[in-house]
Amino acid sequence: MIADLSAADLEAFGARIQADYDAFRARGLKLDMTRGKPAPEQLDLAEGMLALPGNRDHLTEAGEDARNYGGVQGVAEVRALFSGTLGAKPERIVVGDNASLAMMHDSIVWALLKGVPGSAKPWGRESEIAFLCPVPGYDRHFAICEEYGIRMIPVPMTGHGPDMAKVEELVRDPAVKGMWCVPKYSNPSAESYSDETVRRLASMKTGAPDFRLFWDNAYVLHHLTDERREILNVLDACADAGNPDRAFVFASTSKMTLAGAGLAFFASSEANVKWYLARASKRTIGPDKLNQLRHVRFLRDEAGLVAHMDKHRALLAPKFQTVTDALTSRLANQGAARWIKPDGGYFVSVDVTEGAASRVVALAKDAGLLLTAAGATWPYGKDPHDSNLRLAPSYPSLSDVKAASEGIALCILLAAIESESARRRSEA
Ligand code: PMP
């Protein structure tokens, strides 16, 4: 432990780490671990899709011409293909275009302008509304709330989902209309919600009768080990608890097929799907159904989808292993950081000592290594502890991930040594 070192040992250790960091910086690398983007090799896995559906193949099973307008809910066989993954019957699924984030955004804007089933008035006409935001969480969720003036209330994650005692207490306030949830392999902590967490979210008493869980199951099939984690079906849990309209479920194939040209999904109760389609059909005459056909032709069935995800795993798992190996070899038992080895998802979340995260990001930047801004995993970009870092190892090559991980470990150590030295000076 750095904190236990004698003054002389701390100084010697600091000098050694500073020399390693200087050597790292002198390599003049340009590394980027900021965003959870699939690597080119992952996109190549779906290259065959670009030739599909192919000449003259434009009819759906029902005989609709996929080249034409219409079909706002999405092609039936596509909804059937993703039904198991989404945990909803095909008739309770809407297929959107290439971004689930857009479907989340639209749902919030429509709720603000029109209300949702069960609303006494549009959310935008309430004097104030708020969302619960488990932290660390996804910055783009928080950006939507910030954009539309929805107050964000952070709730800590526990290792098996958000702190439910806190959630149950906060949600009694009728101003709390929604909650962001990334229930499986969460962004960024990689934790999955326990069955008990899902049941409590489904059954808790809410002050707002039109409260919604924004259930962003972005990493539903994104396993990194052969233990394919399952979580409780939230739509069933809500229905069982007598709250059938509570959850809006979202997912997409952004990290299954093509991040910029995949399919997005909304799945929910009958009333919510009707509500969604009524709004969506004002917004568009129909989605890109050729892309939907391309996806069924390429993936074929759920087994095809799962097999495709195994190929992603083969490319991603070594990168995650490299990050956690580097952190372990440099940082184990130093008291400088805590992290867990993800078993799915796209991120490694690292908690460094309080007040050190922005220093780590600055040290890394100085050495040619871009990290997600400190604070990004908190509402308004402000981590009150300045301690959470989100590492995204998917995009860089394996050798770049190795170099970057080594660099990150050095920056964390250096920041920890600096703050320990400063602490001792201030106590002296
Ligand atoms: N939700 C989460 C939790 C994510 O991490 C991401 C991508 N990083 C998205 C949604 C974006 O999904 P899409 O590409 O479908 O808009």
Are residue 333 and residue 247 in the same domain, yes or no? no
Residue 96 lies in a domain: yes
Are residue 227 and residue 253 in the same domain, yes or no? yes
Cα 138 to ligand 1 centre (Å): 8
Structural domain of 173: 58-299
Are residue 224 and residue 244 in the same domain, yes or no? yes
**Residue 380, Ramachandran bin (φ over 0: left; ψ between -120 and 50: alpha; else beta):** left
| pLDDT string in tens for the chain (428-residue length) | 999 999 999 999 999 999 999 999 999 999 999 989 999 999 999 999 999 999 899 999 999 999 999 999 999 999 999 999 999 999 999 999 999 999 999 999 999 999 999 999 999 999 999 999 999 999 999 999 999 999 999 999 999 999 999 999 999 999 999 999 999 999 999 999 999 999 999 999 999 999 999 999 999 999 999 999 999 999 999 999 999 999 999 999 999 999 999 999 999 999 999 999 999 999 999 999 999 999 999 999 999 999 999 999 999 999 999 999 999 999 999 999 999 999 999 999 999 999 999 999 999 999 999 999 999 999 999 999 999 999 999 999 999 999 999 999 999 999 999 999 999 999 88
Are residue 289 and residue 340 in the same domain, yes or no? no
Query: Residue holding tokens 């190929």?
Result: 311
Could you tell me how many helices (H) and strands (E) the chain has, helices first?
14, 12
CATH label of the domain that carries residue 286: 3.40.640.10
Cα 218 to ligand 1 centre (Å): 6
Residue 42 lies in a domain: no
- Pocket mutation for ligand 1, best pick of 98, 105, 252, 291 (most atoms within 8 Å of C-beta): 252
- From the CB of 36, is ligand 1 less than 6 Å away? yes
Are residue 28 and residue 66 in the same domain, yes or no? no
Domain finish residue from 299, 324, 345: 299
Length of the chain: 428
Return the residue whose CA atom lies nearest to atom 8 of ligand 1. Answer: 36
Residue 399 lies in a domain: yes
SS3 238: helix
Residue 46 lies in a domain: no
Cα 262 to ligand 1 centre (Å): 11
Domain finish residue from 267, 299, 331: 299
Residue 247 lies in a domain: yes
Cα 99 to ligand 1 centre (Å): 8
- Domain total of the chain: 2
Residue 41 lies in a domain: no
- From the CB of 216, is ligand 1 less than 6 Å away? yes
Distance in angstroms (rounded) separating the CA atoms of residues 199 and 142 = 24
Closest listed residue to residue 408, CA positions, set 378, 375, 363: 363
Residue 258 lies in a domain: yes
Are residue 141 and residue 87 in the same domain, yes or no? yes
Domain finish residue from 299, 323, 339: 299
Query: Residue holding tokens 């949702």?
Result: 116
CB burial readout 272-304, b (16+ within 10 A) else e: bbebbeeebeeeeebbbbebbbbbbbbbeeeee
Are residue 190 and residue 316 in the same domain, yes or no? no
Distance in angstroms (rounded) separating the CA atoms of residues 38 and 30 = 18
Are residue 264 and residue 139 in the same domain, yes or no? yes
At 55 the pLDDT is: 87
Residue 280 lies in a domain: yes
Are residue 140 and residue 283 in the same domain, yes or no? yes
Are residue 341 and residue 285 in the same domain, yes or no? no
- Pocket mutation for ligand 1, best pick of 33, 86, 138, 179 (most atoms within 8 Å of C-beta): 138
Locate the ligand 1 atom nearest the alpha carbon of residue 182 and give its number. 3
Closest listed residue to residue 112, CA positions, set 124, 127, 130: 124
CATH label of the domain that carries residue 349: 3.90.1150.10
Are residue 349 and residue 408 in the same domain, yes or no? yes
Are residue 288 and residue 312 in the same domain, yes or no? no
